[in-house]
Amino acid sequence: MSSTRRKLLTAGVAAAGAIAGGVAAGTAMRRRARSSSPASHEPLAMLPPQDLGPVVAADGTALFVRSAGPEDAPTLVFVHGFSLDLTIWHFQWTGLDGLRCVVYDQRGHGRSGRADDLSPETMGRDIGTVLDAVTGDRPVVLVGHSLGAMAILSAAEAGVLGRRVAGVALIGAASSDLLRGALGSITGMLRPRLGTFSTAARRVDRLRRAVLASPTDVAGMLTRLTQFGDDAPPHLVDHVVGLAAHASTEVWTDGLTKLMEMDLRHAIAKLTVPTLVIVGEQDRITPPAAAVELVGSLPDGRLAVISGAGHLPMLERPQDVNDHLRAFASEVLPATAPKRKRGKA
């Protein structure tokens, strides 16, 4: 293999792990988990009990929507990130007692229908459709992770949120240049050598599928190193690796291209409601410095840094994230939920 080919292969694998939340792999590098981390027996793939779908988007795409909690309780609507699905919110819908949690699979992801358009702009319009279907005019808090956060910015720019959104929480968020924090000089090598972002995304997907068929553990180690804090339990890493492995080729090519091309800095001013930006202390995709910059640009922003967590703090430190979400919801929603039961993850 030539030196250039080897560099491209290395860059592509790194890009896959850093941008998207991991690709399938064998054994990930194991580290001792802190006692505050979620228990390994938690059934992360379990679905919330209430089926609210399908909710049909404007272009006919069927969105898979579930909920948990009293229907008349203060409501939070959760929007997941790239190549993942609604199960990343397991510890929120099981842990936020007294609140109503609505979760759904974004178009092209999980159990929702495949779609030709996987842009953050269209995903933003999907948020409006979900709100229309499951919350009506009742005030809600929107919670978005990574790509989900960017879809919320797109929804704000498109004017589909309206007065029903009383507050927004953005987790692992950036308004532009998602690649910069994680990869640095690697992205400078990846784009010019491979041409367009579309070409780069297709190469990443081919590398992902090659890794699936390989016994190598490189992608698993990259997933841990780029997506998680130092002490993330293995079962969390495995869950995220599995989700990304089962994401469709369209997500990894068309969706990844849109993600890399995205720049939503102009949309920040449209998000005028109180906005909580949550970032993991060890987030290497959207590092704390990017979160500080985002908070400073928001009309009404505030920051929460989650100690010991990476890009997925809602999985790694769910109690800390839930405490911030509960306090924020109590502040911006008209009704205050009962206190959370301690001792539940």
E strand or H helix that includes residue 242 = helix 234-246
Which of 83, 43, 85 has its CA nearest to residue 66? 85
Give the number of domains in the chain: 2
Q: Same domain, yes or no, for 101 and 216?
A: no
Say if residues 221 and 265 touch (Cβ distance below 8 Å): no
Range of the domain at 95: 50-178+265-332
pLDDT-based confidence at residue 217 (cuts at 50, 70, 90): low
Query: 165-171 and 140-145: which strand pairing?
Result: parallel
* pLDDT value for 39: 66
The last residue of one of the domains, among 257, 285, 320, is 257
Q: Same domain, yes or no, for 96 and 220?
A: no
The stretch 289-314 carries a mean pLDDT of 95
Instruction: Compute the chain's Rg from CA coordinates.
Output: 19
Residues 6+ apart with CB under 8 A from 70: 98, 100
Q: Same domain, yes or no, for 225 and 167?
A: no
Q: Same domain, yes or no, for 252 and 279?
A: no
Scanning the structure block, which residue is given the tokens 């009404």? Answer: 300
Scanning the structure block, which residue is given the tokens 């030539």? Answer: 2
pLDDT at 343 over 90: no
Q: 213-217: which pairs have CB atoms within 8 A and are 24 or more residues apart?
A: 215/26, 216/25, 216/26, 217/25, 217/26, 217/27, 217/28, 217/29
The stretch 318-326 carries a mean pLDDT of 98
The stretch 335-343 carries a mean pLDDT of 47
Query: pLDDT higher for 115 or 253?
Result: 115
Query: pLDDT higher for 60 or 284?
Result: 60
State which amino acid sits at residue 79.
Answer: V
Ranges of H-type helices in 54-104: 90-93
Query: pLDDT higher for 78 or 342?
Result: 78
pLDDT-based confidence at residue 53 (cuts at 50, 70, 90): confident
Asked if the structure places residue 280 within a domain, the reply is yes
Query: pLDDT higher for 312 or 41?
Result: 312
Asked if the structure places residue 45 within a domain, the reply is no
Q: Same domain, yes or no, for 78 and 167?
A: yes
Q: Same domain, yes or no, for 164 and 185?
A: no
pLDDT at 195 over 80: no
Flag the least confident range among 132-136, 177-181, 294-298: 177-181
Q: Same domain, yes or no, for 193 and 159?
A: no
Q: Same domain, yes or no, for 86 and 146?
A: yes
The last residue of one of the domains, among 257, 284, 312, is 257
Asked if the structure places residue 136 within a domain, the reply is yes
Which of 207, 200, 203 has its CA nearest to residue 261? 200
The last residue of one of the domains, among 223, 257, 291, is 257
Please calculate the CA angle 10-264-13 and round it to the nearest 5 degrees: 10
Q: Same domain, yes or no, for 158 and 190?
A: no
The stretch 21-28 carries a mean pLDDT of 34
Asked if the structure places residue 125 within a domain, the reply is yes
- Cα separation, 244 vs 16, in Å, equals 10
pLDDT at 162 over 80: yes
Average model confidence (pLDDT) for the chain?
79
Query: pLDDT higher for 82 or 184?
Result: 82
